[in-house]
Structure 1
Amino acid sequence: MIARFLLLASVAGASIITPDAFAQDAAQPAADDVQQPNVRGDVIVVTARRRQETAQEVPLAISVIRGDSIEATGNFNIVKLQQLAPTLQVYTTNPRNTSVNIRGLGVPFGLTSDGFEQGVGIYVDDVYNSRVAAATFDFLDVAQVEVLRGPQGTLYGKNTTAGAINITTNQPTFDFEGRAELTVGNLNYKQAKAAVSGPLTDTIAARIAIAATSRRGTLYNVTSQRWINEQDNLGIRGQLLFKPNDDFSVTLSGDYSKQDPECCGTTFVRVGKTQRALARQYDALAAAQNYVVPSRNPYDRLSDLDSNLNAGNKIGGVSAKIKWDVGPGTLTSVTAWRFWDWKPENDRDFTGLSIVAKSQNPSQQDQYSQEFRYNYESEKVDFVLGLFGFKQRIDTQGTEQQGSAASKWSLTGALANDPSVLEGLTASNTQWLKSTSAALFGQVSWKVTDALTIQPGARINYDKKSGFYERIVTNGAGAVISCTPTPTAGSVLAAQCGVYQPQVSAPSDSAWNFTYDFNVNYKVARDVLAYATYAKSFKTLGINQNGLPLNADNSVNYDAGTVKPESVNHYEIGLKTQFWDRRATFNLSAFRTDIKNFQATVNGGQFGTVRGYLANAEKVRSQGIEADLKIVASDRFTAYANGAYTDAQYKKFTNAPCPPELSGGTLQPSGQAADYSQPGVPGALSPRQCDISGQTLPGVSKWAFSYGAEYNIPVTLLAKEGQAYLGVDGNYRSHWNSNASPSIYTDVKGYALTNFRAGFRGEGFDIFGWVRNAFDVDYIENLQVAPGNTGLIAGQVGDPQTWGGTIKVSF
């Protein structure tokens, strides 16, 4: 570990490259320090610890990304933001099924369930966004984004075990100002943004912002003869600030965002042999139905999906934030209501055959949150004390229906030749989730000396979850079927029950938790801060809300209804430094996180559940090193380089579902030790469960880097004085696995992307051209295992080379 730490430090030290607009942990000189030359001349203020302070003063690993950097590098939502923050991993197959992880932890990778909590909290202006679908929307008039790494439960309302993304938008001003931005590019890309702010009276100011993005899809569907996986986003936010004096303010905010793209489809990537009989695997089944995929090269960007596709997504809400300076501290109240409306349509079989003719699980969510905080600051002691309440309800109405090709694809013998056995077989799901959470939390900073600060924190948390799930199954004639008692083997009813089984479950549980953290930080020198942190954290209990898996005899496994809370032990040390008259900032951190009862999304390969369900892995560990470097060499040149090494693995997971190469065959005898010796051998016996202890967590690259640089020269163009500039930024991620139980078929190759921009900016305007993925690198964003253990692996390919131009004006 020490060797890796030094290696990463040397790599970061040698890679002196970052963009001018990227504000990575810049610092403000202390008030009593002798002021040194500062060629940049700006100060990065953060609210990571619920008070305003400079980033270098915060004794935790934090990346600060300014709004102008987000715009300059084309990273217009959290999904794209990972290109600037190496330890942030964001993977999405559609807005609902989006994983936001930090250091490999946070959300179980794979299909999203409503029954678990987010380990990475997403906050917009202090309001917690419970559904990760919010991460896919455009940033709207954002001032900066803070990515906090590690548990944050003693500072933030909703407990977060892996970190928090703290998004701050531009606030109303009492000076009139405005800005507008227009971008056009290839793939018919159009993006427009505008914001206006100013006073309504001496004590009331308002701000309104709007953004719209559209782009042609990147995957051509030969069946519908349309480009799919397009972008179609619209967002608006309005804010009203009432500030009668310097000690009191009320900010009312409302926002609404809408997406309505034809999305999100996949393309054929590869076939991997399973243990199913060879005649029942993908190539043989496709040949038997004279089915030929449009291309076996995913980078031809062709698909033939035959079901409707939709990713209709609406998110919005209102909030009221009150700040009142009371005595030596500040009292803050944040009251919010948010909603989420999700209307999807998917092609779940990933082929042009009508195997699954319909798959959709529309959801509606309402959430209410209330947070009170009191911040106190003095010469020797600072503290934050908070009270948080949260209530949420999610309703879902699901439909999955088998198509005309389902019998041939899924059955054997005479039944396989009778399309009516499965055609029209429909599972109709009704479900709801109620979640309530309350917490008392706080953190104290005791300045023992001018250099030494001790910072303990604690949290008391209560959670209650209750859910309901009912699946009614009807055959092609519309008659309700029952699978109790167990139907006769080989019958039509047995075949139907093998695909969809009626089930009802009503899991409910509650839990109290007490957690704490302890930080010691020491100012070694004026611009050198060392810190060490221990945190005892948790993620609350989870329930399976999307249908339960089946046992070997096709009965429902009700034991899987709930999952235990995670227990987290986190250790971290770090060093935050500045040198060269504060023109250079170099920060290092090393961490280790141990989790018991890790909540993992696993894949049983069945049609009868929503492919993924929650289970507990006994032990998980994530450890690694992070390095961040920024250089402001002069007014003409700035650069950055960030790097991360993350080793995240299942330390103990003994009863995980098996990967596809060890699935699909007749199950090995009960009670017999699992035999893993015949992966991908058709007809071989399949283990009932697999021990994947020691294997890497899905979605995690061991190595990740980002870098950038910008150089400018003063010029006069068309009688306008300004700067001509050239910028580059890029990122690299090593390979990672996209299946919950790592598979040889779902290993995603590493890739490196490079972006360029060049333009001219002056007072109140900026005009530049850009090219992203400049070298047109072929890469995969995600791989998925098709249900049924046929060996089909589908995926979503990353964006090709894109280019365009942007005009920005401000006044």
Structure 2
Amino acid sequence: MTLRNILLGATMLCAATTPAIAFAQDTAEAPASDTDYGNDIIVTATKRSQTLQDTPIAVSVTSAADIQNAQIRDLIDLQSAVPSLRVSQLQSSANTNFIIRGFGNGANNPGIEPSVGVFIDGVYRSRSAAQIGDLPNVERIEVLRGPQSTLFGKNASAGVISIVTQKPQYEFGGSVEASYGNYDAFVIKGDITGPISDKIAFSLGGNYNRRDGYARDVNLDTDVNDRNRWGVRGQLLFEPTEALTIRLIGDYDKIDENCCIAGNVIAGPTVAITNALAGGPSVDANNPFSYRVYNNFLSSNLIKNYGGSGQIDYDLGNMSLTSITAYREVRSNTNQDSDFTSADLIGQKSDDTAINTFTQELRLASDFDGPINFLIGGYYFNEKIKQHSQIYFGDDFRDYGNALIQAASGGALSVPVLEAALGAPSGSFFRAGDGMDEYYRMKNTAWSIFGTVDFDVTDRLTLTLGGNYTKDKKRFTTDVTSTDVFSGINLDAAAYTPFRQALLIGGGVDPATAAFLAANPTLTLPDGSSANPLSGLKAFQFLPPFLNVPNSVEPGKTNDGDFSYSARLAYKLTDTVNVYATYATGFKASSVNLSRDSRPLASDLPAIIAGGLGTANLVSGTRFAAPEESTVYEAGLKAQWSVAALNLAVFKQSIKGFQSNVFTGTGFALANAGKQSTWGLEFDGSVRPVQGLNLSLAVTWLDPKYDSFVASAFGDLSGKKPAGIPDLSVSMGGTYTYEFAGGTKAIAHVDYQYESPTQIVDGLSGFPASVAQNLKREVNQLNASFTVALTNGFELGVWGRNLTNAQYLTTIFNAVAQAGSVSGYPSQPRTYGVTGRFKF
């Protein structure tokens, strides 16, 4: 087996319901059969053909037939087929988070590249908004598990999702597909391909996907969480000579949806206040799965994603040269009622983000008959990010803040009293329209040199060595202004005496306030020191002044370099059984906290204060997280027979400096864990007991822990299990194909996904640890389809996803500005429909 076989080619002629283990980066192949349920997977290159078992890399492959039969409609659905993968959509249509083997981050915060890299036809998609398009004519989806550095120029510390679409064909053909389902869901897809000349072929595909919302906003009397997206994609394939191939791809897709609802998981004491302000129910208390929400404006998501790429492959005889050039743009404009109540607390919480990305990859691969083969490549990445964010108080926030302050002071204080005593203009605290106006900029340039060498030690034993040197530089700037007057006032002890005197000397103090002042000249702490009675009001300073970057202490730069490497031994025990052992490292560069929770590092805070840069109420936090460095030890067995196949992997994977990105409701707490590690076992197999029947099973068992995480957002988590990672994940399924006389086929498919109960988040601010520990997620999801395929190319089928109507929370977080309340994103309900398809 040569490296070129692994990197340059694969035709996955397998439709095993549960993914098998394989890898192929680029392909020049015929489409996979949608009715072949055998176990042969052929890996091909220009001169060689290998069975899948000869590729000793742990990758789950979901074929075109799997996608069709299981009605995998986007990447969120993919996790039902790949138990090592978790996918969740969070607070907007632009945000999708990918986790492999328990490792993953990056969604939502534009300054963070994901630990799981996503590639579409060899082109890296750096942010989740660019990863969820409804691609036409997907041939297969590969999920590479573990750090990937020597096979990809763009280093990925946790894994890779590689989506491969079909190349243009020289035989005229295409397909049209239309689906209709509950919630008035309507999906139409089409593609056409064929020759322009004997050396040029084309393909053109498009899709339209709309659905009414499956949730109801009772306050606004409208459906929410709808779907409204469309896209087009065109390709040209030039083959001017037998040695030269050029593939050009251009695409554009658009999303315009209201998403995403958050249910009320825990109703705290503030619910009584928001109910009063709303004049009725402000939330559906403690029932996140009613899919009935109360907002005062619709959340909007307008996302445009477009770009183009060119791939050139040149056959040099016993070597091949490949170049992939790409430029992409993402435009995302979202606005959300982020307090998730019908009271007008947050009047606007918007993010207008522009991401421009240019990538260039160049690699040379050998295909010698001798014992040594190699690949060497170079990769360049250039990205510019601009984000304009705004968060403003709504019309009800002043009354809401007044109620909070009165409750905190036992009725002694109020917003007007505080304004007068602190010398602020009347009506200035929590004024509607005040808040934060934020501009963030980041430029990221990176390059890498990578390669691998294969040594055929014997006819059965192959040693593979690989390396990747990456250099990554980031520059970032912020221009953030807070107009929240109350948050800009220093409430420390030094401010209390003049505050008290102003109230007493000014006269007119009501009896309750006078009693409060008389009883609290100071407060005495257990250690004997005095404390300011106003300190409790700091919790209501929601949007404090922001120290912008760069400044004289913080340059707003990161500069990282790393050498990652891998070593693998693969041994062919028999013609049908292979084993391998791998040691590999991976790397992800520093990530930047482009959110309103960005704060100076604790190590920089003294110099900032000494330099006179400190703003009121400035505290430490993170501007950026240091790099991730991952390591994996893995051993695997791969076997393939005429009627069955199995793949087994045992591993220990760890990441030093794991970049924890915790959603705080309006921003993100970014921090490095000292080390996170996972022991794991992965099994997947398929068997064909009788002609036409294919049964499959995939199981992932994980035992993760934080080896060290002292400075998390929830205190010291060292030695504890990371949240959101189930111990056991299982996918099982079966597909039966029956062929009638005359060629008509009936295809029945069923699959089941299970995830054992797991804690959803590591913690919740202001709550005892036991509260988060008792909030768990368990997944039991059943999907099925039945299709009749006629000989004239027409197919008609019915399908259902989540037929058990499994309900679970994808994530939870502290409700925005509502101490004691918790919000969460509920899973999607049952969906079903009918699909007609015509292939020609």
Assess same fold via TM > 0.5: yes
Q: Which residue of 2 aligns with 1:786?
A: 815
Amino acid at match of 2:444: S
C-alpha separation in 1, matches of 2:224 and 2:45: 39
Distance 1:48 1:201, change over 3 A: closer
Provide, for residues 536-572 of structure 1, a one-character-per-residue CA deviation record: whole Å limited to 9, x for no partner: 2221112222134569996334662232112222111
Q: Which residue of 2 aligns with 1:706?
A: 731
- The answer to whether the 8 A contact 1:39-1:634 is kept is no
C-alpha separation in 1, matches of 2:44 and 2:702: 26
* 2:60 aligned to which of 57, 60, 63: 63
Q: Which residue of 1 aligns with 2:405?
A: 412
Q: Which residue of 2 aligns with 1:87?
A: 84
* 1:640 aligned to which of 687, 696, 701: 696
C-alpha separation in 2, matches of 1:694 and 1:284: 39
* 1:315 aligned to which of 305, 308, 325: 305
C-alpha separation in 2, matches of 1:585 and 1:140: 29
Bigger mean CA offset, 310-319 vs 403-412? 403-412
Distance 1:51 1:613, change over 3 A: farther
* Unaligned runs of at least 5 residues, structure 2: 1-13, 25-34, 407-412, 418-426, 503-533, 551-555, 603-614
- The answer to whether the 8 A contact 2:482-2:543 is kept is no
Q: % of aligned pairs identical?
A: 28
Distance 1:328 1:496, change over 3 A: same
Q: Which residue of 2 aligns with 1:117?
A: 113
Q: Does 1:621 align with 2:677?
A: yes
Provide, for residues 52-97 of structure 1, a one-character-per-residue CA deviation record: whole Å limited to 9, x for no partner: 8543221121111112211221112111101100001111212333
Q: Which residue of 2 aligns with 1:652?
A: 708
C-alpha separation in 1, matches of 2:473 and 2:707: 29
- The answer to whether the 8 A contact 1:127-1:336 is kept is yes
Q: Which residue of 2 aligns with 1:99?
A: 97
Select the structure of larger CA radius of gyration.
2
Bigger mean CA offset, 182-191 vs 698-707? 698-707
Q: Does 1:754 align with 2:742?
A: no
C-alpha separation in 1, matches of 2:22 and 2:692: 17
- The answer to whether the 8 A contact 1:39-1:632 is kept is no
Q: Which residue of 1 aligns with 2:749?
A: 727
Q: Does 1:587 align with 2:644?
A: no
Q: Which residue of 1 aligns with 2:259?
A: 263
C-alpha separation in 2, matches of 1:589 and 1:158: 25
3-state secondary structure, aligned to 1:82: helix
- The answer to whether the 8 A contact 1:340-1:365 is kept is yes
3-state secondary structure, aligned to 1:71: helix
3-state secondary structure, aligned to 1:200: strand
Q: Does 1:306 align with 2:331?
A: no
Provide, for residues 150-195 of structure 1, a one-character-per-residue CA deviation record: whole Å limited to 9, x for no partner: 1110010200111111111011111111111111111101111111
C-alpha separation in 2, matches of 1:545 and 1:46: 42
- The answer to whether the 8 A contact 1:468-1:545 is kept is no
Q: Does 1:389 align with 2:389?
A: no
Provide, for residues 446-470 of structure 1, a one-character-per-residue CA deviation record: whole Å limited to 9, x for no partner: 1111110101100111000111112
Aligned-residue offset at 1:203: 1.0
Q: Which residue of 2 aligns with 1:668?
A: none
Q: Which residue of 1 aligns with 2:546?
A: 502
* 2:143 aligned to which of 127, 130, 147: 147
C-alpha separation in 1, matches of 2:662 and 2:284: 29
* 2:586 aligned to which of 534, 537, 550: 537
3-state secondary structure, aligned to 2:257: coil
Q: Which residue of 2 aligns with 1:210?
A: 206
Aligned-residue offset at 1:217: 1.0
C-alpha separation in 2, matches of 1:537 and 1:39: 37
* 1:566 aligned to which of 628, 632, 650: 628
Q: Which residue of 2 aligns with 1:682?
A: none
Aligned-residue offset at 1:42: 7.2
C-alpha separation in 1, matches of 2:538 and 2:719: 39
Amino acid at match of 2:736: Y
- The answer to whether the 8 A contact 2:799-2:834 is kept is yes
C-alpha separation in 1, matches of 2:177 and 2:538: 60
Q: Which residue of 2 aligns with 1:32?
A: none
Higher relative contact order (CA closer than 8 Å, sequence separation 6+)? 1
Q: Does 1:247 align with 2:269?
A: no
C-alpha separation in 1, matches of 2:782 and 2:126: 33
- The correspondence of residues 314-713 of structure 1 with structure 2, limited to 5 A, is 314-379=304-369, 380-410=371-401, 411-413=404-406, 414-416=413-415, 421-422=429-430, 423-474=432-483, 488=495, 498-506=542-550, 507-549=556-598, 555-557=617-619, 560-579=622-641, 582-602=642-662, 610-658=666-714, 690-713=715-738
C-alpha separation in 1, matches of 2:137 and 2:47: 21
- The answer to whether the 8 A contact 2:598-2:621 is kept is no
Aligned-residue offset at 1:299: 2.5
3-state secondary structure, aligned to 1:449: coil
3-state secondary structure, aligned to 1:182: strand
- The answer to whether the 8 A contact 1:548-1:557 is kept is no
Amino acid at match of 2:682: E
C-alpha separation in 1, matches of 2:280 and 2:761: 26
TM-score when scaled to structure 2?
0.82
Provide, for residues 262-318 of structure 1, a one-character-per-residue CA deviation record: whole Å limited to 9, x for no partner: 11221222236xxxxxxxx43454466465345332222100111331111111101
C-alpha separation in 1, matches of 2:382 and 2:312: 20
3-state secondary structure, aligned to 2:414: helix
Aligned-residue offset at 1:417: 6.9
Bigger mean CA offset, 165-174 vs 69-78? 69-78
C-alpha separation in 2, matches of 1:400 and 1:52: 57
* Unaligned runs of at least 5 residues, structure 1: 1-17, 29-37, 273-280, 659-689
* 2:123 aligned to which of 123, 127, 130: 127
Q: Which residue of 1 aligns with 2:234?
A: 238
